């Protein structure tokens, strides 16, 4: 394999010294996340250089206070999917008027509580949710904006860019939504449709094809239920090239494509709730190597933490790209990279690292700013929780310290 001299373009070389010094002073940490706030800010401002799309941040991707604050200053609004996410966003001083609530598990109690806290935009994912929203709005004398979440399926054999028609609890079919009439929900401003049923899309052409195919069924649905379709929310799904295969989406092309979709659908507003496309790139996960061995001719590394801090590779079969933190001139070798849990699922991938990678070194995983800390399974085997740091204006600041198991065990 080629020499390690080439620094991967997802890594900011300016952090290397800082992280090496950090590692030598914090040996109790089994792994930590670092988010580069200045890089994030620049990226978000670039996403905002357009007037076609109203941007929301899907908080599930990374609910850390400093991340939310950075998105807030860049003019993003917030999509929350639980009471915890709502509390966290409000705690950063964001107005509830800039928050929308998605998710298939909204109870009447939760809807009422959100309304009482000032949330005024909801994505209804079931008929029950719609009835409960109407009741809660009446009880609290408000008239929230409501988008109906639609789940489409394509006829068998027809070209479907999603590659499948798996049934999920996210939203309802057109047929189910057609059982209602907007006029029957006087306490709601039902003014839009929401559709999002794909993940990590990496082709502009496929996304455009997918969005284009949605226009007819969605506009027909709106007509059939007496809705003036003012808002179309296309969710998230904009991908990150975790496998480093050169499949990067062009934001300019997305903006141009969505301008076409917006016009064809005849809507006033087009919304996206970005998760990974907003924050993945700004984050690294750094973790020490605790063992190295050869097993059946395969080089294996065992890390101090694995899917207890970074679950995504186990559920998607896609590793995050990795590099050795220190510099090495040695050529690259394919290592199986495992974590400490007693399951074969605890594998962060088979990835190229310098031949001399050894016990005590640190490995850096890229694109870990999204679906990292809060998506993982931190309690299994009673390891410490990951620490979280931000890096801004040349300074590394701890936001969450690495908590030992005694902190959460009772």
Ligand X SMILES: Cc1ncc(COP(=O)(O)O)c(C=O)c1O
Least distance from ligand X to the Cβ atom of residue 199, Å = 6
Closest CA to 80 of 140, 115, 122, 133: 122
Least distance from ligand X to the Cβ atom of residue 319, Å = 18
Selected range binding ligand X among 88-96, 268-276, 298-306, 315-323, rule: CB under 6 A: 268-276
Which distant-in-sequence residues (6+ apart) come within 8 Å of 230 by Cβ? Answer: 191, 192, 267, 268, 269
**Which one of residues 63, 144, 192, 275 is an interface residue with ligand X (CB under 6 A)?**
275
**180 dihedral zone (left: phi>0; alpha: psi -120 to 50; beta):** beta
**146 dihedral zone (left: phi>0; alpha: psi -120 to 50; beta):** beta
**Which one of residues 31, 96, 236, 288 is an interface residue with ligand X (CB under 6 A)?**
236
Q: Does 276 participate in binding ligand X (rule CB under 6 A)?
A: yes
Least distance from ligand X to the Cβ atom of residue 298, Å = 33
> Count of residues binding ligand X (CB under 6 A)?
16
**Which one of residues 89, 136, 210, 274 is an interface residue with ligand X (CB under 6 A)?**
274
**Which one of residues 273, 281, 346, 388 is an interface residue with ligand X (CB under 6 A)?**
273
Selected range binding ligand X among 105-113, 178-186, 269-277, 398-406, rule: CB under 6 A: 269-277
What does the alpha-carbon distance between residue 357 and residue 259 come to, in Å, rounded to a whole number? 48
Angle at 192 between CA 189 and CA 195, to 5 degrees: 140
Least distance from ligand X to the Cβ atom of residue 197, Å = 10
Site string for ligand X, 149-188 (x = CB under 6 A): ----------------------------------------
Least distance from ligand X to the Cβ atom of residue 105, Å = 12
**Which one of residues 53, 61, 119, 270 is an interface residue with ligand X (CB under 6 A)?**
61
**Which one of residues 15, 58, 130, 323 is an interface residue with ligand X (CB under 6 A)?**
58
Least distance from ligand X to the Cβ atom of residue 273, Å = 4
Selected range binding ligand X among 42-50, 89-97, 232-240, 399-407, rule: CB under 6 A: 232-240
Q: Does 237 participate in binding ligand X (rule CB under 6 A)?
A: yes
Site string for ligand X, 358-397 (x = CB under 6 A): ----------------------------------------
Backbone phi, psi, residue 231, to 5°: -125, 135
Q: Does 196 participate in binding ligand X (rule CB under 6 A)?
A: yes
Q: Does 102 participate in binding ligand X (rule CB under 6 A)?
A: yes
Closer residue to ligand X (CB): 58 or 322: 58
Least distance from ligand X to the Cβ atom of residue 39, Å = 18
**Which one of residues 44, 71, 111, 238 is an interface residue with ligand X (CB under 6 A)?**
238
User: Which tokens is 201 given?
Assistant: 């899309």
Closer residue to ligand X (CB): 235 or 340: 235
Q: Does 79 participate in binding ligand X (rule CB under 6 A)?
A: yes
Q: What's CA 309's distance to the chain center, in Å?
A: 16
What does the alpha-carbon distance between residue 99 and residue 122 come to, in Å, rounded to a whole number? 9
Whole-angstrom Cα Rg for the chain: 23
Q: Does 235 participate in binding ligand X (rule CB under 6 A)?
A: yes
Selected range binding ligand X among 8-16, 30-38, 56-64, 184-192, rule: CB under 6 A: 56-64
**Which one of residues 208, 277, 365, 367 is an interface residue with ligand X (CB under 6 A)?**
277
User: Contact positions toward ligand X, by CB under 6 A?
Assistant: 58, 60-61, 79, 102, 196, 199, 235-238, 273-277
């Amino acid at each position: 394999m080629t020499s390690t001299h080439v620094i991967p373009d997802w890594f900011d070389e300016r952090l290397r010294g800082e992280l090496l010094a950090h590692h030598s002073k914090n040996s109790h940490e089994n792994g930590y996340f670092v988010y580069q706030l200045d890089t994030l800010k620049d990226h978000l401002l670039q996403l905002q250089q357009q007037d076609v799309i109203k941007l929301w941040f899907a908080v599930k991707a990374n609910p850390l206070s400093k991340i939310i604050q950075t998105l807030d200053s860049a003019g993003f609004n917030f999509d929350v999917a639980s009471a915890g996410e709502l509390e966290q966003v409000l705690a950063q001083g964001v107005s509830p008027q800039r928050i929308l609530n998605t998710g298939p598990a909204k109870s009447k109690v939760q809807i009422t509580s959100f309304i009482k806290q000032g949330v005024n935009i909801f994505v209804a994912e079931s008929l029950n949710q719609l009835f409960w929203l109407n009741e809660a709005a009446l009880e609290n004398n408000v008239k929230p904006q409501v988008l109906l979440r639609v789940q489409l399926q394509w006829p068998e054999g027809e070209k479907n860019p999603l590659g499948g028609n798996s049934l999920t609890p996210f939203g309802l079919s057109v047929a189910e939504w057609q059982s209602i009439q907007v006029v029957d929900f006087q306490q709601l401003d039902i003014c839009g449709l929401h559709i999002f049923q794909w993940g990590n899309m990496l082709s502009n052409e496929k996304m455009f094809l997918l969005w284009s195919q949605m226009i007819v069924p969605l506009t027909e649905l709106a007509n059939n239920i007496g809705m003036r379709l003012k808002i179309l929310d296309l969710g998230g799904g904009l991908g990150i090239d975790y496998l480093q295969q050169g499949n990067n989406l062009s934001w300019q092309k997305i903006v141009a494509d969505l301008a076409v979709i917006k016009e064809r659908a005849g809507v006033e507003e087009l919304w996206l709730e970005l998760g990974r496309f907003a924050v993945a790139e700004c984050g690294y996960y750094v973790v020490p190597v605790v063992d190295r061995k050869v097993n059946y001719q395969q080089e294996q590394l065992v890390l101090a933490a694995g899917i207890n801090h970074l679950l995504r590779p186990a559920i998607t079969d896609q590793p995050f790209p990795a590099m050795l933190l220190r510099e090495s001139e040695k050529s690259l070798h394919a290592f199986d990279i495992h974590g400490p849990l007693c399951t074969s699922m605890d594998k962060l991938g088979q990835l190229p690292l310098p031949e001399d990678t050894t016990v005590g070194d640190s490995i850096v995983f890229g694109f870990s700013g999204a679906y990292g800390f809060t998506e993982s399974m931190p309690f299994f085997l009673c390891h410490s929780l990951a620490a979280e740091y931000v890096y801004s204006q040349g300074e590394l600041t701890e936001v969450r310290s690495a908590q030992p198991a005694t902190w959460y065990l009772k």
